[in-house]
Structure 1
Amino acid sequence: VEAAGLEDDNVGIRMTAARPRLLQDITGGDAFYVNDSTRCSVGFSVTRDDRPGFATAGHCGRPGDTTTGYDRTAQGTFRASTFPGKDMAWVATGDQWTATPDVKAQDGQEVQVTGSAQALVGAAVCRSGSTTGWRCGTIEQHDTSVSYPEGRVDGLTRTTVCAEPGDSGGPYLAGSQAQGVTSGGSGDCTDGGTTFYQPVNPVLADFGLTLTTTAARTTAPAPQDGTAREEWTSGRVYETGATVTRDGVRYRCLQTHQAQGAWAPAGTPALWQRL
């Protein structure tokens, strides 16, 4: 008060019970640290029962492992993890971390995720990671099996995108559509190589997660086997071939994706075929 040149009788002090805290965003491609030691990369922001978090690779951590964020502050805990067999996990974060649809891209830019429609073989795909940043290539094969020293993983997608240690768990995108999280591969980003990703839709379905998008909905999806004829519901993961009804009309799913509120079957012929 004295340094500001104010008079004491013109100054009042009010006490408050509020305790300010730092707020951080969950952004795909950012580094995170497991048990304050090994480093992996954030995949995609997700929610479950209104709890924010992110999807990443299963080999990055086991249930109960704790994480710190890119700034080395407390972040969250691995709630579920599968590896080998599959390579998927999700981390539930503290309230100070906000789920966003953002993924770090090239030259400080960000891409906002709009959905999770699966891209076809031959499509361009890009990856973000905390070691090598933004790298691009093409999809070569879906439903690939890979034998790692730790065991076999099925259902991966093979790409020409390079990656290096620390990029594990980072997001793959085709345009603004989420594709998967980095699993493993060969080579590096100097000489090139082959990299595999764990598709994101099985992660969402297995763990009951909702992908955070620019048109996000907070309703948690239920796993679905892709065969039931049921009422179309925002937030569910629909596999290719699944049949649903909407406003009394039946539709068949053409591309695996997590349904969004603005993507009702009647208005998205690229995703749904009327029967």
Structure 2
Amino acid sequence: MHGSPLPRAVGMTALSLGLVLAATGPVAADSPAGDLSPDQMAAMRSAFGLTESGVTELIAAQEAAAETESELREELGPDFGGAVFDVDTLDLTVQVTDRSDFGAVRAAGAVPELVDHGESTLDSVMEALDAAADGAPATVHGWYADPARDTVVIEAAPGHESAAEELAASAGVDADAVVVEESPGTPRTYADIVGGNPYYFQDGGDWYVCSIGFGVVGGYVTAGHCGDEGSDTWHDVPGTQQIGTVAGSVFPRSDMAWVDVTNPDFTPTAQVNDYDGGTVTVTGSTEAPVGASVCRSGRTTGWQCGVIEAKDQTVRYPRGQHVHGLTRTTACAEGGDSGGSWLAGTEAQGVTSGGSGDCTSGGTTYFQPLNPILERWNLTLLTG
């Protein structure tokens, strides 16, 4: 995941440890976008072509959709087939495997859709592919369940679609439940070698930088490829002011870590840096549905927004490092953004893992969902 040192610096993102940043301007308290910073509001308006009131309406609709999805998932049980939110129409489509459930879906305010496979079947296909991941060639870039199309998508490098088909066959999955698509970009992690700004770590004598994700009681969460368990994190290079120690780290398989802040000069907060002189206050970690808008924060590329395309994607990074359970998005990111914050409104979603492309040409970026990180190490997210 590391290369040769670069003669440029890329800064820390998301959590401003030891710094006091200006508060955002007041917005009506009853507005679901009331805690958005001006920069975050501007980024969402630009990404989705909306007015300020349109952004407010979008956030309110997807918050309601998340609640509806959760309620129907519990009510329908094994008949629940998946859910997709549409940022244009603000509709939530809920797939079911039994047409008799249409009434319950409509009663909840969602649009019903009958599917052949559904979430349970797609999950089984994903599990089979994950089990066969070690034998997959480097030309297969990953796979994810696409509820909108009721299929699992396997991505392969141009001209290597047959390798993806062979993987599906070796995993013993139903060919009707998968499709193979060309993936021109090769996923990579976003850790980058730098020298000069906070949240640095060392590996093999070289200095690297990543972005801080979210403050938790006692520290902060970030990406697992941003330092092994037991390694130190620093505010500067060559390491005169230590922030803390990586208390837990998992990479590959997952891409999650948390840092125990041991320096009393650094205080974890519920804030995310908006890189416009202010902060966004995190209010919770309710997971947004597929199709919802999300924005990410990273010092390299600032605020970038997009939509959630899929969840539980398996991504294969170079050297056979595969990561399961990532969320796929259309927002861009670049080196140094790894570990940074993802928000749906003010709800924390996850930390940047990696992707393909960049913020000039566009690309696909994956994040490690936050709640599994909190659950793994019994962490408490700081909220305000």
Whether these two folds match at TM > 0.5 is yes
1:222-264 deviation line (CA, Å, top 9, x unaligned): xxxxxxxxxxxxxxxxxxxxxxxxxxxxxxxxxxxxxxxxxxx
1:43, 1:171 within 8 Å by CA — same for their partners in 2? Answer: yes
- The 5 Å alignment of 1:37-52 reads 37-47=207-217, 52=218
- 2:296 is aligned, of 116, 127, 148, to 127
Structure having greater relative contact order (Cα 8 Å, sep ≥ 6): 2
**Aligned residue-pair number:** 186
1:25, 1:99 within 8 Å by CA — same for their partners in 2? Answer: no
* Partner Cα distance (1:24, 1:108) in 2: 15
Matched residue SS, 2:375: helix
2:213, 2:220 within 8 Å by CA — same for their partners in 1? Answer: yes
The residue number in structure 1 matching 2:352 is 182
The residue number in structure 2 matching 1:161 is 331
Paired AA for residue 259 in structure 2: V
Tell me the C-alpha RMSD between the 2 structures: 2.0
Is the alpha carbon distance of 1:70 and 1:127 closer, same or farther for their aligned partners in structure 2, counting shifts above 3 Å?
farther
Displacement of 1:70 in angstroms is: 6.1
* Partner Cα distance (1:69, 1:168) in 2: 16
* Partner Cα distance (2:338, 2:379) in 1: 20
1:186-218 deviation line (CA, Å, top 9, x unaligned): 00011110000000000000011110111xxxx
The residue number in structure 1 matching 2:255 is 87
Is the alpha carbon distance of 1:122 and 1:157 closer, same or farther for their aligned partners in structure 2, counting shifts above 3 Å?
same
1:110-147 deviation line (CA, Å, top 9, x unaligned): 11000000001111101011211111111110111101
The residue number in structure 2 matching 1:5 is none
Displacement of 1:107 in angstroms is: 2.2
**Structure that is richer in helix per residue:** 2
Is the alpha carbon distance of 1:127 and 1:26 closer, same or farther for their aligned partners in structure 2, counting shifts above 3 Å?
farther
2:229, 2:246 within 8 Å by CA — same for their partners in 1? Answer: yes
**Structure that is richer in strand per residue:** 1
Paired AA for residue 57 in structure 1: A
* Partner Cα distance (1:26, 1:157) in 2: 31
Residue segments in structure 1 that go unaligned for 5+ positions in a row: 1-22, 215-275
- 1:78 is aligned, of 246, 252, 257, to 246
Displacement of 1:26 in angstroms is: 9.8
Displacement of 1:32 in angstroms is: 0.9
Residue segments in structure 2 that go unaligned for 5+ positions in a row: 1-16, 22-196
Paired AA for residue 102 in structure 1: Q
- The 5 Å alignment of 1:192-211 reads 192-211=362-381
Paired AA for residue 370 in structure 2: V
Is the alpha carbon distance of 1:44 and 1:37 closer, same or farther for their aligned partners in structure 2, counting shifts above 3 Å?
same
Is the alpha carbon distance of 1:26 and 1:120 closer, same or farther for their aligned partners in structure 2, counting shifts above 3 Å?
farther
The residue number in structure 2 matching 1:63 is 229
The residue number in structure 2 matching 1:261 is none
Displacement of 1:25 in angstroms is: 4.7
Percent of aligned positions that are identical: 55
Give the structure-1-normalised TM-score. Answer: 0.64
Displacement of 1:97 in angstroms is: 1.3
- The 5 Å alignment of 1:114-153 reads 114-150=283-319, 151-153=321-323
